[in-house]
Structure 1
Amino acid sequence: MTDAIPASPPLALVIFDCDGVLIDSEPISLATLTRGLNGIGLAIDLDAVRERFAGTSMTSIMERVAREDGVIAPDGFVERVKAETLDAFEAELTAMAGIAEALGLLHLPFCVASSSDPVRLRRSLGLTGLLPLFEDRVFSSAQVARGKPFPDLFLFAAERMGVAPERCLVIEDSVPGVQAARAAGMRVVGFTGGGHWGHDRTGRDLLAAGAATVFSAHAELGRILAAG
């Protein structure tokens, strides 16, 4: 692991993924998704769901399940999983430790670009008290043609923020997210502070996908930015 971010023009924008980076939602949402997939006949455990689907949209997940597993979701399945996830969020969701303080110290513009649908995204940020920190700088994969690992969402966010891709730094916790950032021509670092990482915070798969480094506490964000 190295702390060096490849030399390039000065950073002008930090783009945060949401789930697993800003909010500790992945243990909740992945568990809900696993139960739902089991209920429609897909024999899969939580670890496999995390490995295959973390960081991707429900649309992409169900397309893969149909293509790779031959399981077609019944009508209303996606909406039911989304509703159950939001219900669980109401009771359990928390912001990632130290993120509000880290955002308050940022000397660069920042935004969020997430695979979550707009309703879940804004609700999640609202429940954790983070939404006022982002205001209208909240972008969802529902606003683009293709979700992660394609670059569309990050390029859309950069365009809306008026910043060239090469001057953006993306903070991601998933392999599709890292791949999307790299495909967009952006610098990217991996975050491994979420509860879904368990005891292994090395982020080997994020580094293998192209993250310049990984970090597991938002208190380190200043150091990460200084390296860029």
Structure 2
Amino acid sequence: MTDAHSPPALVIFDCDGVLVDSEPISLGVLTRGLNQIGLCLDVETVRARYAGTSMVSIMQRVATEDGIAPPEGFAERVKAETLEAFEAELTAMAGIAAALTEFRLPFCVASSSDPVRLRRSLGLTGLLPFFDGRIFSSAEVARGKPFPDLFLHAAARMGAEPAACLVIEDSVPGVQAARAAGMRVAGFTGGGHWGHDRTGRELLAAGAARVFTAHADLGRIVAAG
């Protein structure tokens, strides 16, 4: 049995909003697209409803919950516009490269983003060399977050027991997925989409053991387990 306070055997990072400050960009593109097809939501509502979930899940929810069938090619257009915006605006999260350089534990990335966007995000921000060969996307599993499939898949591929893993997440579905997988989880609220309230109350309520706002504290968070 793994001691809940022992250092993890594997750290699993989400990508968007944890490694790269992508959420303000991607949520803005998504909000504009949804507005254009008749779903009148502001970007904060879009964040609350969809952050941390895959485009497949978002399109399913728009159809079932809002009764709007996105036009053919809508998801592909949003993805293309998001990548175009990334080329001009995307940055790595402050302090993450330095933190990863000093990291001494096994780690990987497991993201709701599709493989093309995921690798492009890491490549544009200079983080790809840290994760190459240890990149896992929700496209590889049957169900995305908040289901545990992706995190269990990443742990299995990395040879780690779920209870020995620590997940770093910035979204409620991600925290829920980690907890459903039987993993410990810390919430990160350093991304631009958190605005002025970085307390992470919703992440704590979803099951995060603790919340932090700067990757300078990553070592301490990991040591706490």
TM-score by shorter chain over 0.5: yes
Q: Deviations over 1:78-133 (max 9, x none)?
A: 00000000000000000000000111111101000000000000000000000011
Indicate whether 1:38 and 2:35 are aligned.
Answer: yes
Out of 137, 141, 150, the position equivalent to 1:144 is: 141
Distance of 2:8 and 2:223 partners within structure 1: 10
Indicate whether 1:204 and 2:201 are aligned.
Answer: yes
Aligned residues: 223
Do 1:9 and 1:166's aligned partners in 2 also have CA atoms closer than 8 Å? no
Partner of 1:16: 13
Out of 122, 125, 129, the position equivalent to 1:125 is: 122
- The residue type equivalent to 1:26 in the other structure is E
Partner of 2:131: 134
TM value normalised by structure 2: 0.98
Partner of 1:3: none
1:46-65 matched pairs, under 5 angstroms: 46-65=43-62
Do 2:111 and 2:136's aligned partners in 1 also have CA atoms closer than 8 Å? yes
Q: Percent identity?
A: 79
RMSD (CA atoms): 0.9
Do 2:108 and 2:134's aligned partners in 1 also have CA atoms closer than 8 Å? yes
Partner of 2:211: 214
- Say if 1:116 and 1:193 are closer, same or farther in 2 by CA, change over 3 A: same
Q: Deviations over 1:49-83 (max 9, x none)?
A: 00000000000001011111001000000000000
Q: Deviations over 1:4-60 (max 9, x none)?
A: xx8256411000000000000000000000000001111111010000000000000
Distance of 2:146 and 2:164 partners within structure 1: 20
Do 1:8 and 1:166's aligned partners in 2 also have CA atoms closer than 8 Å? no
Partner of 1:113: 110
List alignment gaps of at least 5 residues for structure 2: none
Indicate whether 1:195 and 2:189 are aligned.
Answer: no
- The residue type equivalent to 2:139 in the other structure is A
Distance of 1:10 and 1:45 partners within structure 2: 40
- Say if 1:188 and 1:207 are closer, same or farther in 2 by CA, change over 3 A: same
Distance of 2:118 and 2:222 partners within structure 1: 25
Partner of 1:7: 4
Distance of 1:168 and 1:131 partners within structure 2: 21
Distance of 1:10 and 1:68 partners within structure 2: 41
Distance of 1:176 and 1:42 partners within structure 2: 22
Distance of 1:11 and 1:86 partners within structure 2: 33
- The residue type equivalent to 1:178 in the other structure is V
Out of 89, 92, 96, the position equivalent to 1:92 is: 89
List alignment gaps of at least 5 residues for structure 1: 1-5
How much has 1:227 moved relative to structure 2? 1.1
Partner of 1:102: 99
Distance of 1:30 and 1:10 partners within structure 2: 34
